[in-house]
């Protein structure tokens, strides 16, 4: 009998996760399917219970449910500390966060070492929480800069037990960028065609690396600026594929075909 997997979110129609996971199942000859399900907040608990009762293999959880899900499914220690999860495993009935390790995997697989590096994280929302956690675990020194500085300070004080982290505003951003080895954008800036990047080529040089979590468009205005400055770039698809691959392994116990997943995500975008 076919095993069903899926992603729940709202909206979820443009998700590339079905393309990514179905390509992996096909490549490995597994009798499984992965679909996107639109679920509103008030039905989240019912949707999870329903999927469990129907014998689903597992679920990804995306915006806006990543924080709420841990009220209904016990988080593993990492997801509990981050305060958000994106993966439910029905066998263990546990929620995991694969975004945090995927951010680090994306950097490392693209040749960007993070240990002892100064990383400037732009944004202090849900995505930043996972990224900052992953970076600190990888022994980076992190500066969180945010439009609303109080949120950067809050996130930094929450994460301080994990490592060297500091919260600040966007004031004097060019100097903050110049002092960083790696710049990570966790804000949605770049998703809309009219968006002006927060960081421009004049602030960057070829010794730096720039990682944008935005994956639609794949080459964001920020990454264009980084390329123009000769900096190394890591795109959001790189992280998207790696969070998916880690979810796949949690559910199936099978080593995921990461190259197949990443290629299908790029094709779908």
Decide if residue 151 touches ligand ATR (CB under 6 A): yes
DSSP-H helix ranges across 54-124: 69-72, 77-82, 99-109
Nearer to ligand ATR, 117 or 129 (CB): 129
> Quick check: is 91 catalytic?
no
Of the candidate spans 38-46, 110-118, 125-133, 215-223, the one that interacts with ligand ATR by CB under 6 A turns out to be: 125-133
* Residue 236 tokens, joined: 């959001």
Any idea what the Cα angle at residue 60 is, between residues 115 and 16, rounded to 5°? 85
Residue closest to ligand ATR (Cβ): 125
Nearer to ligand ATR, 141 or 186 (CB): 186
Give the start-end residues of each E strand in the chain: 3-9, 32-38, 58-61, 74-75, 87-89, 94-96, 118-122, 141-145, 165-168, 182-185, 209-212, 232-234
Any idea what the Cα angle at residue 258 is, between residues 115 and 244, rounded to 5°? 80
Q: Which of residues 173-202 bind ligand ATR (CB under 6 A)?
A: 186-189
Could you tell me how many residues of this chain bind ligand ATR (CB under 6 A)? Answer: 14
Decide if residue 127 touches ligand ATR (CB under 6 A): yes
Decide if residue 123 touches ligand ATR (CB under 6 A): yes
Nearer to ligand ATR, 24 or 69 (CB): 69
Decide if residue 100 touches ligand ATR (CB under 6 A): no
Nearer to ligand ATR, 115 or 191 (CB): 191
* Residue 19 tokens, joined: 């393309």
Chain centroid offset of residue 248 CA: 15
Instruction: Count CB-CB contacts under 10 A for residue 110.
Output: 14
Longest dimension (CA), the chain: 59
Minimum Å distance from CB 129 to ligand ATR?
A: 8
Token pair 């096909």 in the structure block, residue: 26
Nearer to ligand ATR, 24 or 100 (CB): 100
Within 8 A by CB and 6+ apart from 36, the residues are 6, 7, 9, 12, 13, 15, 17, 18
Looking at 146, 208, 233, 252, which residue binds ligand ATR (CB under 6 A)? 146
Token pair 């390329």 in the structure block, residue: 227
Say if residues 146 and 152 touch (Cβ distance below 8 Å): yes
The one catalytic residue among 66, 192, 224, 227: 66
Decide if residue 162 touches ligand ATR (CB under 6 A): no
Minimum Å distance from CB 140 to ligand ATR?
A: 19
Decide if residue 238 touches ligand ATR (CB under 6 A): no
Minimum Å distance from CB 207 to ligand ATR?
A: 25
Instruction: Please report, as ranges, the residues that interact with ligand ATR according to CB under 6 A.
Output: 123-128, 146-148, 151, 186-189
Catalytic residues: 66
């Amino acid at each position: 009998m076919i095993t069903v997997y899926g992603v729940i979110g709202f909206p979820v129609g443009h998700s590339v996760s079905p393309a990514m996971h179905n390509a992996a199942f096909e490549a490995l000859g597994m009798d499984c399917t992965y679909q996107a399900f639109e679920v509103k907040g008030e039905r989240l608990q019912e949707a999870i219970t329903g999927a469990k009762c129907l014998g689903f293999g597992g679920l990804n959880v995306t915006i806006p449910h990543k924080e709420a899900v841990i009220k209904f499914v016990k988080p593993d220690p990492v997801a509990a500390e981050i305060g958000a999860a994106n993966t439910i495993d029905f066998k263990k009935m546990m929620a995991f966060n694969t975004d945090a390790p995927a951010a680090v995997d994306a950097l490392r697989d693209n040749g960007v070492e993070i240990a002892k590096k100064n990383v400037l994280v732009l944004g202090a929302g849900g995505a930043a929480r996972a990224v900052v956690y992953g970076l600190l675990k990888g022994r980076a020194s992190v500066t969180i800069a945010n439009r609303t500085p109080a949120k950067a300070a809050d996130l930094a004080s929450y994460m301080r037990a994990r490592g060297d982290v500091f919260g600040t505003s966007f004031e004097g951003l060019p100097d903050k960028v110049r002092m960083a080895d790696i710049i990570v954008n966790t804000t949605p800036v770049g998703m809309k065609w009219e968006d002006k990047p927060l960081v421009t080529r004049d602030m960057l040089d070829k010794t730096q690396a720039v990682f944008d979590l935005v994956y639609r468009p794949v080459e964001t205005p920020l990454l264009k600026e980084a390329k123009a400055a000769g900096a190394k770039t890591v795109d959001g698809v790189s992280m998207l594929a790696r969070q998916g691959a880690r979810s796949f392994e949690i559910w199936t116990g099978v080593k995921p075909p990461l190259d197949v997943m990443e290629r299908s995500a790029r094709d779908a975008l």
